[in-house]
Amino acid sequence: MLYLLFTTFLGFAIFVVFKLFKKFGIDNLHAITANYAVASSASLLAFNDPVSSSMILNAPWFPLVILIGALFIGVFFLFAYSSQKAGVAITAVSSKMSVAIPATAGFILFSESISSVKIIGISAALTAFYLTFKKSERLIADPKTFFLPVFLFLGTGTNDLLMKITDYYYIEHDLLLLLSVIFFIALVIGLSLLGFALATRKKTFSLKSLMAGIILGFVNFGSTYFLFRSMEYYDSSLMFPLRNTGIVLLSALTGYFVFSEQLNRTNWYGILLSVLAIIMVAAG
């Protein structure tokens, strides 16, 4: 239970950190790149066994890890772009509703237990995501941007599913090494993007943003590590809905009480339904 609580809280903390980034003028690209450097280094330092390149290249999880690492950073930038073009509400909803992919795969691929209570709870969680983020704004401002949240839904859900497959079939005693490689691949992509942006003078070097990325890196490492550990003990049809619903619930309440964000009646209905969904999924 502690692993699930830790990954939920740290996943929520990532949202808070990004909220503070905007407040203090932190450049996301600098911070994200630094974050992956820290997360990769922390994972490698925590892995006590000797490491060699052949050990990594011959690992059964290596092909999947390349894809996961690329999706890690790609999904985030897609989230940012979709927020700007398609709207914050629909972007948030689509990223959280992606929980349907690993949850459904749990029933089909991993023969996880299924019950009517759990199915109703997952459906309630999906509805709660929509209600909690529903604002007065139109969900899609421009029909041309329709596929952005669709790709975000597929990308986030696919990434969660690939992590579950990797954990289920391939991880033995090398979780920390696997995480280090995932973060390193994301780091290489981030450095390439940052280097191009600096070379073309689209961005200037920001030491403040790099320092902020260090904080994000430790939070991100902890969130991902405890996510994998949670998958060892919980079915994906249970763990992912509980985690995402918990993150939505904490984020909405923190936005209201700490950042003075307004919540309408529909949002409060969503928060209450989130609590009910957590109870039903856990009981199912």
Residue of 243, 224, 189, 186 whose CA lies nearest to 72 = 186
Q: Residue 7's pLDDT band (boundaries 50, 70, 90)?
A: very high
Q: Residue 217's pLDDT band (boundaries 50, 70, 90)?
A: very high
Alpha helices for the chain (secondary structure H): 2-23, 28-46, 53-57, 62-85, 88-97, 100-109, 116-133, 147-169, 175-199, 207-233, 236-257, 265-283
Query: Domain total for the chain?
Result: 1
Q: Kindly tell me if the per-residue pLDDT of 247 is higher than 60.
A: yes
Choice among 2-11, 208-217, 249-258 with the minimum mean pLDDT? 249-258
Choice among 86-90, 97-101, 257-261 with the minimum mean pLDDT? 86-90
Q: Kindly tell me if the per-residue pLDDT of 131 is higher than 60.
A: yes
Rounded Cα distance, 11 and 112, in Å: 24
Choice among 3-7, 145-149, 178-182 with the minimum mean pLDDT? 145-149
The pLDDT score that the predictor gives to residue 244 is: 86
The pLDDT score that the predictor gives to residue 92 is: 72
Kindly state the average pLDDT of the residues 131-157.
73
- How many of the other CB atoms lie within 10 Å of CB of 17? 18
| pLDDT tens per residue across span 60-73 | 999 999 999 999 88
Q: 258: domain range?
A: 2-283
